[in-house]
Structure 1
Amino acid sequence: MSIDFTAMYASHDAFRRDLERLAQAVAEGRAHTPGVRAGWANFTRQLHIHHTAEDAELWPRVRERLTGRPRDLALLDDMEAEHARIDPLLASVDTALTDRAPELPDLVRALTATLDDHLGHEEDSALPLMQDVLTAADWGAFTGRMRETQGLRGASVFVPWIVDGAGPADRERFFGSLPAPVRVLNRLFWEGSYRRKGLWAGVQDAF
């Protein structure tokens, strides 16, 4: 059974989009506004949930199926090492935002490059490997961990955050991967609530 990676790709796109918004805010001298700080706080939360679930539920399951495949095991080592390189960059950007440090632009560029390299590496190499060795049950355990961590309140932010600023085709593709009740909740309640939070307000109009 083929694994549907739609939500994974959509999450990656959302991470990239948020860092573009942060870089724009920094360049325009608006990195310390409430909307930008709220957007940054949500970005770091979403990335933490994403990477924690990968480290706890995804990479160990892949590793179990790679006996006698040293090259593929090395790829998993790379994935975990890349996560470890991202964490201190997140902390440095967070501190620089709080302190209004002059090195903030350089730190944002370093974080953007490091995260983009990791996401690209994962998409090009790790996702095909997962498609090859994981079962639907394995993937369900990973996505279940994500849902459990988010909870209903977290989902009410996660779903509209994914499609914030996305084009019609990307929105349709993502929503097509979700259960019908989630789509209804998002349309009736979640998107409106998300807009009112004002994440990245002043950087780019949401939706």
Structure 2
Amino acid sequence: MTDSNHKPLDFTAMYASHDAFRRDLERLAAAVAEDRAASPAVRAGWENFQRQLHIHHTAEDSDLWPQVRERVAGRPRDLVLLDEMEAEHSRIDPLLRAVDVALADRAPELPDLVRALAATLDDHLKHEEDSALPLMQDVLTAADWARFTGRMREVQGVRGAALFVPWVVDGAPPADRAAFLGALPPPVRALNRLFWEPGYRRRGLWAQG
């Protein structure tokens, strides 16, 4: 798929989502360290983080990895990489459940569990960025990628998008924010500016006080 007719895939939203996952776990760790983990704002931030990660990983497992797997049939090294992606997802799930329980119980092991989750997720995201995204760039077409991103939009729906878009750019550096929003259709950017971001700010996810 590396011929001159292969249009490069746009991974802007993928990288932006990964950065948002990392940011939320930094916010969770800070809230735990400051003894704010039981606050409604932190719990709301954590619930949204879990939902966004679930949608992201479920779509990869059900729609993305099988599509890539078809394209790399007979390539053992690439198939092993896809096995690793799926195995890493399965290692993250028990940590999510453990943190959820520890948050509810205000368990003393919560700081260690949050650190373990952050390290495990970051390792996975970096592995995906360093190895899986270049593989996808090599073997998927623009139409393949459009089907996957379309499936993500379908799962989110309009109500989900109204939370997802401002969540991704929350606290993002100006250049990253501009790149992500610039990849969206103008009507979506307008909705985000006029309605979605103001509504998101009113939610006060992770807010202190």
TM-score, length basis structure 1: 0.97
2:170 is equivalent to residue 164 of structure 1: yes
2:81 is equivalent to residue 59 of structure 1: no
Match of 2:48 among 23, 33, 42: 42
Structure 2 runs not aligned, ≥5 long: 1-6
Q: Distance in 2 between matches of 1:72 and 1:105?
A: 36
2:86 is equivalent to residue 80 of structure 1: yes
Deviation at 1:167, TM superposition (A): 1.7
Q: 2:145 aligns to what?
A: 139
Q: Distance in 1 between matches of 2:175 and 2:141?
A: 28
Q: 2:27 aligns to what?
A: 21
Match of 1:33 among 24, 39, 50: 39
Cα offsets for 1:136-193 (capped at 9, x unmatched): 1111111111101110000000000000011211111111111111100000100000
Identity of aligned residues (%): 79
Deviation at 1:108, TM superposition (A): 0.2
Q: 1:2 aligns to what?
A: 8
Q: Distance in 1 between matches of 2:81 and 2:64?
A: 13
Q: Give the match's secondary structure for 2:73.
A: coil
Q: Give the match's secondary structure for 1:126.
A: helix
Q: Distance in 1 between matches of 2:65 and 2:74?
A: 16
Q: Distance in 2 between matches of 1:32 and 1:10?
A: 28
Q: 2:158 aligns to what?
A: 152
Between the two proteins, the alignment pairs up a number of residues equal to: 203
Which runs of 4 or more aligned residues in structure 1 lie more than 4 Å from their structure 2 counterparts after TM superposition?
none
Q: Distance in 2 between matches of 1:201 and 1:189?
A: 20
TM-score, length basis structure 2: 0.96
Q: Give the match's secondary structure for 2:172.
A: coil
